[in-house]
């Protein structure tokens, strides 16, 4: 997997040429523009007025893969920047006047946010917006200077050269923590803690809103008087919501569906296959024949006789059943001669949550802000300096490398307790990431994706449905649309031997680790 792109420069986004909108995108634009105008922002005149205390207004823009939701979100972001609206990044919020209007572009996971950032949209996570960093007053002077709100400061212990490095970094990447790190500071030097946001924001765009649950939507409605949701109704609903997504419960006037599939999407054989699944008469066997035909025409689709173990190191095999996931993980580790009692550098992991007591609430917020939230995908780089600590690379995080107290669980049997080769007494919990369920893969994308077809065949034979749609079709749709470039449709329960040993060379060159303060259950 390639490294995530740095956060976008909103000014550069505003300067980019605007593409033409399709009729249904134009209708969505007009609906959103009307909501923004009622909120005091005129996209036509590129002007904004101070916010008023109106009630929350919510609109959901839905559409399948290729319908142009992300392009519409990016165009609206640019128009708001041109109207003088500030982007809230989540890493630092400069002092502002009461007149300023603010926009936050959110995603439920770091990986989903990084997909947007790679496309030029300055997105952050919901977790990162709910909690704001508290900066040391001395170093906050640097942040205010970089943001253009204060003169260049003089800081004891920081040379002019260090400040120049910070300024040069910030001119290229609008990240205050990144700029301070470029000056030679650690996160524990300038961030003294985190606090839950106690004042509402302004405008919120939420991508991948099919992943939201009802509680998250209520939290967002309390935070944003103007809230626009972007989501795919063909994906899998959150667990426990009976196949319903949060936008399904909105009244009809608060929903708008994008039905047109754009030319660039029509030229994509992977999306062609995804949209075939809308045919209610399509059976599993016929769908596999369509995949086989697509593979003959285009090398972006591959009918694979066995799982490629080399790909598993950076993108998990997508499965339906948990037992299949565990068998593939066990086969992957055995193929790499991984010892039972330890991990090899380069093994993929998935964060399974934070096991910290209430008294360590500050550390929990700290780790979540760094990207260690449930479902985050990471790679093990090696042991930390203290027992039970691990050095990790977090995919999708703006500062991807961290050393953290870890509880790593190696599962071998669905009915047995996981084997824990080593662990801190508390910290971030991880399961192996060489394979994962399709449900957990939502919001993520990889350049190449392997879908384990025998599991989807089992789902088809089971005859289950979700919200009136065959479950296997929902699973197949989500799984194949995770692929950015190539889809591997694996038809046999076999694993190919790896051609290269596990390594982390592609990750350690991405960025130097930004260490946090050494505390129990935190980073070393």
Distance set, CA 513 to CA 186, 199, 392 (Å) = 9, 32, 9
The pLDDT of residue 303 is 97
306-337 tens-digit pLDDT? 999 999 999 999 999 999 999 999 999 999 99
pLDDT of residue 73: 94
Q: How far apart are CA 466 and CA 312, in angstroms?
A: 29
pLDDT band at residue 52 using 50, 70 and 90 as cut-offs: confident
Angle between helices 269-276 and 471-480 (to 10 degrees): 170
Please list, in sequence order, all residues whose beta carbon lies within 8 angstroms of the beta carbon of residue 239, skipping any fewer than 6 positions away.
439
Q: Output the pLDDT for position 241.
A: 62
Q: What is the dihedral of CA 270, 271, 273, 276, to 10 degrees?
A: 180
Residue 39 reports pLDDT greater than 50: yes
Instruction: Provide the pLDDT confidence category of residue 375 given band limits of 50, 70 and 90.
Output: confident
In the chain, the percentage of residues whose pLDDT exceeds 70 is 85
Long-range pairs of 453-462 with CB within 8 A, sequence gap ≥ 24: 453/288, 453/489, 453/490, 453/491, 454/324, 454/490, 454/491, 454/492, 454/493, 455/319, 455/320, 455/321, 455/324, 456/284, 456/320, 457/284, 458/320, 458/321, 459/320, 460/283, 460/284
Judged against a pLDDT cut of 80, whether residue 232 lies above it is answered with: yes
**Which of 173-182, 249-258, 290-299, 378-387 has the least mean pLDDT?**
173-182
Among 257-266, 330-339, 461-470, the minimum mean pLDDT is found in: 257-266
**Cα–Cα distance for residue pair 477/319, rounded to 1 Å:** 13
Q: What is the pLDDT of residue 358?
A: 59
Confidence band, pLDDT 50/70/90 cuts, at residue 31: very high
Q: Is the model's pLDDT at 175 over the cut of 80? A: no
Residue 513's pLDDT band, with cuts at 50, 70 and 90, is: very low
Please report the DSSP string for 38-73 in residue order: HTTEETTTTEE-----PPPEEEEEEE-TTSSHHHHH
Decide if 105 contacts 77 (C-beta within 8 A).
yes
Give residue 88's pLDDT.
Answer: 85
For the ranges 4-18, 26-40, 41-55, 304-318, which has the lowest average pLDDT? Answer: 4-18
Per-residue pLDDT at 172: 77
Going by C-alpha positions, the residue among 174, 194, 264, 274 that lies closest to residue 234 is: 274
Question: For 392, which DSSP code?
Answer: E
Contact 488, 449 (CB under 8 A): yes
Handedness of CA 256, 257, 258, 259 (dihedral sign): negative
Residue 3 has pLDDT above 60, yes or no: no
Question: How many whole angstroms separate alpha carbon 170 and alpha carbon 181?
Answer: 11
pLDDT digits (tens, 9 = 90+) for 481-500: 999 999 999 999 999 999 99
Segment 32-58 shows an average pLDDT of 88
% of the chain at pLDDT higher than 90:
45
Identify the weakest region by mean pLDDT among 96-105, 396-405, 450-459, 489-498: 96-105
pLDDT at 9: 56
Phi, psi of 66 (to 5 degrees): 90, 0
Confidence tier at 479 by pLDDT (50, 70, 90):
very high
Res 359: pLDDT: 65
Structure token digits, residue 29: 């634009």
pLDDT at position 145 over 50:
yes
The pLDDT of residue 53:
66
Q: How crowded is residue 374: how many other Cβ atoms within 10 Å of its Cβ?
A: 14
pLDDT classification of 5: cutoffs 50, 70, 90? very low
Cα-to-chain-centroid distance, residue 294: 29
Beta strands in 282-400 (DSSP E): 301-304, 317-319, 348-355, 377-383, 389-394
pLDDT, residue 326, reads: 94
pTM above 0.85, yes or no: no
- Residue (of 321, 324, 306, 336) closest to 492 by Cα position: 306
182-186, 291-295, 419-423: segment of lowest average pLDDT: 419-423
Distance of CA 357 to the CA centre of its chain: 26
Please state, in angstroms and as integers, the Cα–Cα distance from residue 86 to each residue in 83, 95, 103, 132, 304, following that order. 9, 12, 6, 16, 47
- Render pLDDT for 83-124 as a digit per residue (tens, 0 to 9): 999 888 777 766 665 668 899 999 988 778 878 887 888 888
- Residue 302 vs residues 298, 486, 489: alpha-carbon distances, Å: 8, 8, 6
Residue 224 in contact with residue 200, Cβ under 8 Å?
yes
Nearest residue to 246 (alpha-carbon basis) of 217, 221, 224: 217
> How high is the mean pLDDT of the chain?
84
* Across 228-235, average pLDDT: 93
pLDDT of residue 242 exceeding 80: no
pLDDT score at 117: 82
DSSP state of 81: H
For tokens 């399509």, what's the residue? 282
Average pLDDT over residues 5-18: 48
Q: Is residue 405 within 8 Å of 500, Cβ to Cβ? A: no
Q: Per-residue pLDDT averaged across 44-61, rounded?
A: 85
Query: What is the reported pLDDT for 510?
Result: 44
Mean pLDDT of 231-235: 91
Rounded to 10°, the helix 284-297/269-276 angle is 170
Mean pLDDT for the stretch of residues 431-436: 95
* pLDDT for residue 164 is more than 80: yes
Predicted confidence (pLDDT) at residue 516 exceeds the cutoff of 50: no
């Amino acid at each position: 997997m390639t490294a995530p792109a740095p956060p976008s420069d909103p000014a550069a986004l505003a300067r980019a040429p605007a593409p033409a909108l399709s009729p249904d995108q134009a209708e969505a634009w007009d609906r959103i523009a009307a909501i923004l105008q009622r909120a005091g922002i005129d996209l036509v005149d590129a002007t904004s007025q101070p916010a008023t205390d109106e009630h929350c207004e919510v609109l959901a823009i839905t559409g399948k893969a290729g319908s142009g939701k992300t392009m519409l979100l990016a165009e609206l972001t640019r128009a708001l920047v041109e109207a003088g609206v500030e982007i809230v990044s989540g890493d630092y919020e400069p002092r502002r006047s009461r007149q300023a209007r603010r926009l936050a572009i959110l995603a439920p996971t770091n990986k989903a946010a990084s997909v947007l950032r790679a496309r030029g949209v300055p997105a952050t996570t919901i977790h990162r917006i709910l909690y704001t960093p508290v900066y040391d007053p001395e170093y906050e002077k640097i942040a205010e200077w970089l943001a253009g709100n204060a003169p260049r400061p003089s800081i004891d212990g920081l040379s002019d050269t260090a400040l120049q490095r910070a300024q040069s970094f910030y001119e290229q990447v609008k990240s205050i923590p990144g700029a301070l790190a470029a000056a030679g500071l650690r996160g524990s030097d300038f961030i003294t803690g985190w606090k839950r946001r106690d004042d509402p924001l302004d405008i919120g765009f939420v991508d991948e809103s099919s992943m939201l649950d009802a509680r998250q939507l209520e939290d967002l409605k309390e935070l944003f008087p103007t809230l626009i949701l972007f989501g795919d109704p063909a994906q899998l609903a959150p667990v426990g919501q009976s196949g319903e997504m949060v936008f399904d419960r909105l009244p009809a006037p608060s929903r708008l569906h994008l039905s047109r599939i754009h030319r660039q999407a029509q030229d994509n054989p992977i999306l062609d296959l995804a949209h075939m699944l809308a045919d209610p008469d399509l059976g599993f066997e016929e769908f596999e024949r369509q995949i086989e035909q697509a593979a003959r025409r285009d090398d972006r689709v591959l009918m694979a006789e066995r799982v490629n173990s080399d790909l598993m190191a950076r993108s998990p095999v997508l499965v339906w059943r948990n037992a299949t996931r565990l068998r593939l993980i066990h086969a992957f580790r055995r193929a790499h001669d991984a010892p039972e009692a330890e991990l090899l550098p380069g093994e993929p992991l998935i964060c399974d949550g934070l096991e910290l007591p209430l008294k360590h609430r500050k550390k929990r917020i700290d780790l979540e802000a760094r990207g260690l939230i449930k479902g985050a995908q990471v790679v093990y780089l090696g042991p930390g300096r203290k027992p039970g600590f691990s050095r990790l690379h977090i995919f999708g995080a703006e500062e991807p490398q961290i050393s953290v107290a870890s509880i790593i669980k190696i599962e071998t049997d669905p009915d047995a307790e996981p084997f824990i080769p080593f662990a801190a007494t508390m910290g971030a919990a991880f399961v192996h990431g060489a394979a994962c369920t399709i449900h957990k893969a939502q919001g993520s994308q990889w350049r190449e994706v392997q879908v384990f077809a025998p599991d989807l065949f089992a789902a088809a034979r089971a005859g289950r449905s979700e919200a009136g749609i065959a479950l296997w079709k929902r699973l197949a749709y989500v799984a194949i649309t995770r692929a950015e470039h190539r889809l591997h449709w694996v038809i046999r329960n076999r694993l190919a031997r790896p051609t290269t040993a596990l390594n982390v060379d592609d990750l350690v060159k991405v960025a130097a680790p930004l260490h946090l303060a050494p505390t129990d259950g935190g980073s070393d």
